[in-house]
């Protein structure tokens, strides 16, 4: 099964009520898979007239308390930013999949990690965050999907799965968790279900009273601090004795891990930190690792975006070096290994 | 005949006219002479008469009616500018047993939300759309809308709207009426008691179609006075609808 299909089936197994999407490469397998399976399951599938409409259909379904998602790729996700800002403001849960491609603009259809900033720093207008996952394989797609829905529901927040063209298209053996919806989540008593026998519910993102939006922002920030405390996830390997620590996510993390293993075979002590949640970012883990003064090497398929968060976490304690390729250029094990070897050559004194 | 405490006769009074239950008892933020108050009341009366308050979900637009949930006592959502028909699609598809209506102005529906309304109708979504056409952007200060009349002075057409460069008034209802997925389209005017009664009947029909599971979108366009940005008195604004606007936006049933 390819990554795109694994995500789709995992979402269906997690109790997805409605999927809304618009065609764009390299995520078309999600939409096609949903059109078949959601119909079989007698659930809702709508191919929208635009990504703008898709994210607003998600908004509508989410406002009535349903489990809902959309998927797209970079240019389409840009169009959705207005809706994502509204979802964040109205505190509506949903899952948004971004199978990233080369940008900016129409770019190309090759894999990229160029949407990191857009995903983890908000993306649309206003002070907000979405929970952002950066899975690195087809199995992890399947495992993270139910978690993404559960956390979205628990915290009333949009969750983003940040994938790329390789992961979306790549085929791997996968076991999809079945009937994976958590039944212990809080009741959605805020949802719009018709006001029969109760006061009206209102889902909104406009507060005109003096200081009301300021207070709403403080409330959102308090929620974000809770998420940072409870939901930060990352994977560490061979970090304790490492002279060099590679920080990478998604497909780059798998490439980096292989390069690290090859470096170890050559006697270079390399470890890896792989953020699984990109927001909240594993700042504490990286900060702690920086105390032992390794060199940090950040590898991304971009011109360097996550590296800024690594630098903030390291806070000048030790050098942070970046290597990456933008616009659909793919990072290879050989190149990462070469970069590791470069870092082990001590600069000559003049 | 009953007698009061002091032995005086009084007549038992029967209430024959009252505020609809769906319309909240609260001060209005709309300008004097604005048509939204009339439209809100008509929609509320229809919801009461059809007995659907408990299963209705309303969608407020961006525009003067953004605070519609302060007046309609039903579950409501406020959405991004123009996106109401997409939001409504997400709601109705996942909740086919609910009655979903959007309440949109001409900036919302005929400018920024043109794609959403056309495609909701094109997909034959089972929705009720209330389209308030007052030929200006009200909330932002009376700028030109796609529906602004030729020659009409607005904040962004200080010389009056000219076809050359600013285009002609956009007849969205006529555009929608040609789509097979739009099953009922009617234009009414909120400009006299008789017109208002016709508008109420149209609104009721638009809701009834959804209640009866009719397969398609219903839309009622209401030509609505905006004395503030038309720079007119309220009576003149009513006459302006009857005598001028209806020449460009003819009243009557366009479909269904």
A178/chain B closest Cα distance in angstroms: 22
A249 in B contact zone (CB under 8 Å): no
3-state secondary structure of B157: strand
Reported as a pLDDT band with limits 50, 70 and 90, residue A310 is very high
Tell me where in chain A the CATH 3.40.50.920 domain(s) lie: 235-344
**CA nearest A70 in B: which residue?**
B90
Q: Which run of H or of E encompasses A260?
A: helix A251-265
Q: What residue ranges do the domains of chain B occupy?
A: 29-255
Residues of chain B positioned with their CB less than 8 A from the CB of A193: 75, 95, 98
Per-residue model confidence as pLDDT tens digits over A162-200: 999 999 999 999 999 999 998 899 999 999 999 999 999
Token digits of residue A166 = 């390789």
| CB count in 10 Å sphere of residue A330 | 16
pLDDT at A68: 98
Minimum CA–CA partner of A67 in chain B: B94
Interval A296-313 mean pLDDT: 98
Contact criterion met (CB below 8 Å) for A156 and A91? yes
Q: For position A28, what pLDDT does the model report?
A: 96
Q: What is the pLDDT of residue A350?
A: 53
Grade residue A290 by pLDDT with cuts at 50, 70 and 90. Answer: very high
Mean pLDDT (whole number) for A25-52: 97
Vertex B60: Cα angle to A71 and B170 (nearest 5): 90
Residue B13 pLDDT more than 90?
no
**Percent composition of chain A: helix, strand, coil (DSSP 3-state, to 5):** 40, 20, 40
- Measured distance CA(A97)–CA(A141) in Å, rounded: 10
* Cβ contact B91–A61 (<8 Å): yes
Closest by alpha carbon to B82, among B57, B110, B121, B120? B110
Residue B11 has a pLDDT of 72
Model confidence at A345, pLDDT cuts 50, 70, 90, reads confident
Does residue B144 surpass a pLDDT of 80?
A: yes
Digit-coded pLDDT (tens) for B73-86: 999 999 999 999 99
Class at the top of the CATH hierarchy for domain A235-344: alpha beta
Give the rounded distance of the alpha carbon of B153 from its chain centre: 23
- Give percent of chain A with pLDDT exceeding 90: 97
Task: Answer whether CATH 3.50.50.60 is correct for domain A3-231.
Answer: no
Question: Is B112 in the A-facing interface, judged by CB distances under 8 Å?
Answer: no
Q: Which of residues 198-217 of A touch B (CB under 8 A)?
A: 200-206, 208
Give the global pTM.
Answer: 0.96
**Cis check: omega of the bond before A280, within 30 degrees of 0:** yes
pLDDT in tens, A63-111: 999 999 999 999 999 999 999 999 999 999 999 999 999 999 999 999 9
Give first-to-last CA distance, chain B, whole Å: 52
Q: How many CB atoms lie within 10 A of CB B234?
A: 16
Q: Quick one: which H or E segment has residue A203?
A: strand A202-203
Residue of A233, A12, A235 lying closest to A142 (CA atoms) = A12
pLDDT tens-place string over residues B155-174: 999 999 999 999 999 999 99
Q: Say if the Cβ atoms of B87 and A202 lie within 8 Å.
A: no
Report d(CA A55, CA B90) in Å as an integer: 9
For chain A, residues classed under CATH 3.40.50.970 are 3-231
**pLDDT value of residue A347:** 57
Structure confidence by residue, pLDDT tens digits, B25-38: 999 999 999 999 99
Q: Which CATH number fits domain B29-255: 3.30.360.10, 3.30.830.10, 3.40.50.970, 3.40.50.880?
A: 3.40.50.970
Q: Is the minimum CB–CB distance between A237 and chain B shorter than 8 Å?
A: no
Confidence of residue B14 (pLDDT cuts 50, 70, 90): confident
Which of B66, B86, B115 is closest, CB to CB, to A57? B86
* A242-279 per-position pLDDT tens digit: 999 999 999 999 999 999 999 999 999 999 999 999 99
To the nearest whole angstrom, how far is the Cα of A261 from the nearest Cα of chain B? 48
């Amino acid at each position: 099964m390819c990554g795109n299909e694994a995500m789709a089936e995992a979402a269906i197994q997690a109790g997805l009520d409605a999927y809304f999407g618009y065609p764009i490469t390299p995520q078309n397998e999600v939409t096609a898979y949903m059109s078949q399976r959601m119909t079989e399951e007698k659930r809702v599938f709508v191919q929208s007239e635009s990504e703008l409409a898709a994210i607003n259909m998600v908004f509508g379904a989410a406002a009535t308390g349903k489990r809902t998602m959309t998927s797209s790729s970079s240019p389409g996700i840009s169009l959705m930013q207005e809706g994502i800002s509204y979802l964040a403001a109205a505190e509506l849960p949903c899952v948004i999949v971004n199978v990233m491609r080369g940008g900016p603009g129409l770019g190309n259809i090759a894999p990229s990690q160029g949407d990191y900033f857009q995903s983890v720093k908000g993306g649309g207008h206003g002070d907000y965050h979405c929970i952002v996952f950066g899975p690195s394989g087809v199995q992890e797609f399947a495992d993270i999907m139910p978690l993404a829905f559960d956390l979205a529901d628990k915290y009333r927040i949009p969750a983003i799965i940040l994938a790329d063209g390789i992961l979306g298209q790549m085929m791997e053996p996968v076991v999809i968790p079945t009937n994976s919806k958590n039944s212990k989540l809080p009741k959605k008593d805020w949802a719009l279900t018709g006001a029969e026998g109760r006061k009206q519910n209102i889902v909104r993102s406009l507060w005109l009273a003096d200081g009301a939006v300021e207070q709403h922002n403080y409330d959102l920030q308090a929620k974000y601090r809770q998420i940072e405390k409870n939901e930060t996830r990352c994977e560490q390997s061979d970090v304790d004795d490492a002279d060099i620590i590679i920080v990478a996510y998604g497909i780059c993390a798998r490439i980096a891990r292989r390069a690290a293993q090859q470096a170890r075979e050559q006697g270079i002590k390399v470890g890896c930190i792989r953020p699984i949640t990109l927001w909240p970012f594993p700042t504490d883990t990286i900060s702690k690792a920086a105390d032992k003064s390794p060199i940090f090497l950040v590898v991304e398929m971009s011109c360097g975006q996550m590296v800024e968060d690594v630098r903030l976490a390291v806070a000048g304690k030790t050098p942070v070096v970046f290597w990456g390729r933008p616009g659909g250029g793919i990072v290879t094990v050989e190149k990462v290994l070469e970069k590791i070897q470069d870092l082990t050559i001590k600069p000559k004194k003049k | 005949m009953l007698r009061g405490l002091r032995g005086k006769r009084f007549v038992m009074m029967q209430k024959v006219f009252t505020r609809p239950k769906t319309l909240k008892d609260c001060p209005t933020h709309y300008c004097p002479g604005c048509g939204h108050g009339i439209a809100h009341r008509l929609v509320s009366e229809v919801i009461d008469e059809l007995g659907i308050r408990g299963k209705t979900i309303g969608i407020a637009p961006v525009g003067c009616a953004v605070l519609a949930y302060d007046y309609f006592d039903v579950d409501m959502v406020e959405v991004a500018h123009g996106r109401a028909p997409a939001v409504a699609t997400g709601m109705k598809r996942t909740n086919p047993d609910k009655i979903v209506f959007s309440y949109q102005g001409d900036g919302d529906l005929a400018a920024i939300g043109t794609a959403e309304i056309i495609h909701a109708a094109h997909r034959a979504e089972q929705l009720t759309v209330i389209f308030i056409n007052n030929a200006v952007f009200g909330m932002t200060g009376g700028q030109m809308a796609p529906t602004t009349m030729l020659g009409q002075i607005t904040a962004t057409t200080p010389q009056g709207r000219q076809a050359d460069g600013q285009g002609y008034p956009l007849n969205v209802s006529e555009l929608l009426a040609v789509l097979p997925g739009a099953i009922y389209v009617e234009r009414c005017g909120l400009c006299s008691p008789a017109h208002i009664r016709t508008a109420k009947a149209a609104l009721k029909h638009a809701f009834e179609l959804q209640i009866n599971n009719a397969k398609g979108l219903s839309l009622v366009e209401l030509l609505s006075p905006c004395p503030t940005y038309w720079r007119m008195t309220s009576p003149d604004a009513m006459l302006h609808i009857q005598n001028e606007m209806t020449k460009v936006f003819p009243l009557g049933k366009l479909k269904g």
